[in-house]
Structure 1
Amino acid sequence: MTAPSRTWFLPRSLLARNIALLVVLVALTQACSFTVLLHYVQRPRIDRAALIFSDYVKTLDSVLAIMPPAEGRAAAARLGGQTRAPDDLDVEPPRNAVRFFRTWQRDVFVRALQSHLPPETLVRWQTGDGERLWIRVHVAGEPCWIALPMTEDAQASGITTTLALSVGLALLAALTGYLIQLHINRPLKDLARAARHVSAGEAPVALPTDGPTEIAQVSTAFNQMTQALQQAEATRALMLAGVSHDIRTPLTKLRLAMAMAIPRGADDTFVASAESYLDHIDTILQQFMDYAGSGEREVPVPGDLNALIGQLAADFAGLGHEFELSFADIPVFSYRPVSLMRLLMNLMQNAIVYGQTGLFIRTWTEGDAACVAVCDRGSGIAAAELEKLKAPFSRGTNARGHSGGTGLGLAIVERIARLHGGSLTFRAREGGGLEALVTLPLNRHSS
């Protein structure tokens, strides 16, 4: 069991990761920009406004203080003065998370203004239907509270617009990065699709090499790799076919020489044994030939899968091997008949040789695919061996007591299934035994 990745919180796709990185970078940039704006641009402006406003307040306070009492009270009344402070004045104005910048500038302005005024000149903020700044001045030696108009610098009128513009630019940057990443991801998706075709045994279309330099280099390397694989596959198939063909020629001569050299009525046991060995060699050569070909050049034609299985089951029944059949309705679809017959024969032969009992074939559809399961009630096989059996020249532990095979049977089945765009899997059969499951797409246009 592998240890959990330390990057489990990261998005899985490259597109999502790049977009997340871009958003984080834009957010950090905006945060730094706002910090600089607030502390090095906006705060000095507020401090200057508070200083000017404090001069105005001190001048007003001194003028009211030296005026005759009656005239001072009349002047304070014209300014809305009152001897008692309103009940809803806030020593500490409430915070507003929604209007953060407006609240921040208000608090900075009030603190700066109070710092420039004498201690006895108090400053209070009134919230409610309307926000006003109340300042305590002195008229004829008595305190008097008056409401003064606020300057625009304390209202954060421009910062909200700046914030909205910054958010808009951040979204525009994220959208631009998303579109750029989509453009970059398109050739990567083409590369992934071509790689899947290669893994399925198909020859993919050459990838275009006219994109960005890095993508073009990857596409060129992939095209070179697929060409090398196709050349190696052609060389291997030619070598296997050539070796098999060249061995069959002297093998045929050996049969003829034995028939002419051994007189009729000689040791029948020896003759039967020699012919059995020759048949064994011929079977091995045929398997090499089948693996070398596997039907790549055969043209797909529409056919009835159930009818093909029924025909093979009847042939095996004539040899004394009865298969129980269970067919579902499968529409006619295109496949390579000779290759698919070879696939089914190999699976049925394996079920007979290694399973021996409980021979059963069933078909059904699953989505856009036709499924065939060849089942038996044999001793089964360990799960660790299942995938190994699809590799060339691999044989299971239960095959050691059987001679005559090369370990190519399931490799041939695997190649034919992939040639049709399908797959071969193994699973334990309920109640004991093994199921060899072949899945074939119904709507695939085979090349």
Structure 2
Amino acid sequence: MSNFLSSQLQKWRNAWSLKFYLRVYLAVLASLLVTSVILYVLIQVAMNDTDNFKRNMENFSYIASSVIPPESSGKAAEIEAIKHWGFWLDMDISVFKLDGTLSSSTKFKPLTHLPSNIRTGWYTSLPDEVAIQLKDRRWIIVDMSRRIFVPSGMQMIGSILVVLGIALGSYPLVRRLTKRLEHLQTSVEALGEGKLGTRVAVEGKDEVARLAISFNQASARIEALMNAQKSLLANASHELRSPLARISMAVELVTENAPDDLRKELKQNIHELDQLVDEILLSSRLEASKDSQPEWETIDLSGLLAEECARMNADLHINLTLEQMQVAAAFRAEAKYLRRLFRNLLENAERYGDGNASDVYLTMQEERLTVDVCDRGAGIPADQCERVFEPFYRLPGSSETNGGVGLGLSLVKQIAERHAASIACLPREGGGSCFRVKFTV
């Protein structure tokens, strides 16, 4: 039970923590409440100030001495006076003689004698009784208990309307401010996801507006730098084609009489460099066309796989029903990129398959066409399965003599994401690895 309550409390905390505008709104209301309390305390302190209280009591004593007749006028006149005065003040008044005994009172159960500490006087923040000495040295005690504030219906309604007015009036202001911050947060998240063209609408001239301007400037600089980098990479890769071709021809001429091993090594190095340039160019094109509309066409997925498997001497296993075969035959994709995806996977399987033939499986899983490209190599550790898709990443202990330029699987992931497909590296039963691509149909 305690675990359930703690989990619920954590959920509520998380829910509230996400609602920034509510926290700001409640902070505004809390500040209004605190301000009201402080004002009330200050008013009470001012009212109960010793000098202020003394002046008030002196004024009250002067008025009371004028209203209440002297003791020689008789008790009836005295009672009549305190009744009228008490009625208008809505208070109970008791008059005490010089010897401290009760003379008259409008109270149902008045004190019979003055309290022993009466000459020091007393009062509280909400006084119940106040002792005042008249000019003829008699004392009156004014009972203010009937005056303790009990709000009327109209006063309660008025107070509620004031509170609602403040609450309703402050909400749009708070929401407007926090909404701009939420828009800024959304834009920051979009920029973090790679949408470099993201900009924020600038509203007003306050700090939030200046923050939006700074974000737009930073976003524009990042976009310009990334575009410049892509352009430089693409142009440099393209320009490398010509010197590579000349180097290749020169090597052929220079090494005509060279040992076969040397010629083979030079050709392999030039081939890898040419492959690296090719894959950098392809990666740049994919990155540059990320936000553009793909050039979809209808292809036969099983036929495309058959062609690539025949080129790499891999075994193709198709496990589809007749209806599923029709789905595969009407598959929508960008053929040139999809062919490159399977080619890279097959070349990778051949490179690390320890000389064993690769297996390719075409199946339908969870209403998705699934292609598994499997090898019988040493396999990939589970903690490295995600990292193999990073550019230029090599497994610990892997040698560069294995071939490859480190961009093949990175390109596979780029092409898969372009086709809204998922790509995963899985261990193969009996040894080796499988790269599984799932396409939505």
TM-score higher than 0.5: yes
1:350 aligned residue: 348
Alpha-carbon distance in 2 for matches of 1:19, 1:410: 46
Q: Cα–Cα, structure 1 residues 122 and 396, in superposed 2: closer, same or farther, change >3 Å?
A: same
**Is the CA contact (8 Å cut-off) linking 1:427 and 1:434 kept in structure 2?**
yes
**Is the CA contact (8 Å cut-off) linking 2:350 and 2:358 kept in structure 1?**
no
1:291 lines up with 2:280 in the alignment: yes
Identity of matched residues, %? 18
2:149 aligned residue: 154
Shift of 1:338: 0.9
Which residue identity is paired with 1:293? L
**Is the CA contact (8 Å cut-off) linking 2:187 and 2:198 kept in structure 1?**
no
2:93 aligned residue: 58
Q: Deviations over 1:72-99 (max 9, x none)?
A: 9xxx9xx9x89xxxxxxxxxxxxxxxxx
Gaps of 5+ in 1: 1-6, 83-107, 125-132, 134-149, 199-203, 443-447
The within-5 A match list for 1:32-431 is 32-37=35-40, 40=43, 56-59=91-94, 112-114=127-129, 150=146, 154-157=149-152, 158=155, 161-162=158-159, 164-198=161-195, 204-205=196-197, 207=199, 210-211=202-203, 212-255=209-252, 274=263, 277-278=266-267, 281-294=270-283, 295-296=285-286, 300-304=294-298, 307-317=300-310, 319-326=312-319, 329=327, 335-355=333-353, 356=356, 359-362=359-362, 372-397=371-396, 399-400=398-399, 403-420=402-419, 424-429=423-428
Gaps of 5+ in 2: 1-9, 61-84, 110-123, 133-140, 204-208
Shift of 1:346: 0.6
Instruction: Give TM-score, length-normalised by structure 2.
Output: 0.61
Q: Cα–Cα, structure 1 residues 229 and 334, in superposed 2: closer, same or farther, change >3 Å?
A: farther
Instruction: Give TM-score, length-normalised by structure 1.
Output: 0.61
**Is the CA contact (8 Å cut-off) linking 2:425 and 2:434 kept in structure 1?**
yes
**Is the CA contact (8 Å cut-off) linking 1:23 and 1:174 kept in structure 2?**
no
Shift of 1:28: 3.2
Per the alignment, in what secondary structure is the counterpart of residue 344 of structure 1? helix
**Is the CA contact (8 Å cut-off) linking 1:284 and 1:405 kept in structure 2?**
no
**Is the CA contact (8 Å cut-off) linking 1:417 and 1:438 kept in structure 2?**
yes
**Is the CA contact (8 Å cut-off) linking 1:375 and 1:436 kept in structure 2?**
yes
**Is the CA contact (8 Å cut-off) linking 1:395 and 1:407 kept in structure 2?**
yes
Per the alignment, in what secondary structure is the counterpart of residue 405 of structure 1? coil
Q: Cα–Cα, structure 1 residues 438 and 235, in superposed 2: closer, same or farther, change >3 Å?
A: farther
Alpha-carbon distance in 1 for matches of 2:440, 2:197: 20
Q: Cα–Cα, structure 1 residues 315 and 184, in superposed 2: closer, same or farther, change >3 Å?
A: closer
2:22 aligned residue: 19
Per the alignment, in what secondary structure is the counterpart of residue 19 of structure 2? helix
**Is the CA contact (8 Å cut-off) linking 1:390 and 1:411 kept in structure 2?**
yes
**Is the CA contact (8 Å cut-off) linking 1:291 and 1:411 kept in structure 2?**
no
Per the alignment, in what secondary structure is the counterpart of residue 128 of structure 2? helix
Q: CA RMSD in A?
A: 5.0
Q: Deviations over 1:422-445 (max 9, x none)?
A: 664434456754343446677xxx
Shift of 1:66: 7.5
Which protein has greater RCO, CA pairs closer than 8 Å, 6+ apart?
1
Worse overlay, 320-329 or 343-352:
320-329
**Is the CA contact (8 Å cut-off) linking 2:358 and 2:373 kept in structure 1?**
no
Alpha-carbon distance in 2 for matches of 1:274, 1:304: 43
**Is the CA contact (8 Å cut-off) linking 2:302 and 2:362 kept in structure 1?**
no
Shift of 1:194: 3.8
**Is the CA contact (8 Å cut-off) linking 1:15 and 1:181 kept in structure 2?**
no
Alpha-carbon distance in 1 for matches of 2:400, 2:94: 113
Worse overlay, 215-224 or 271-280:
271-280
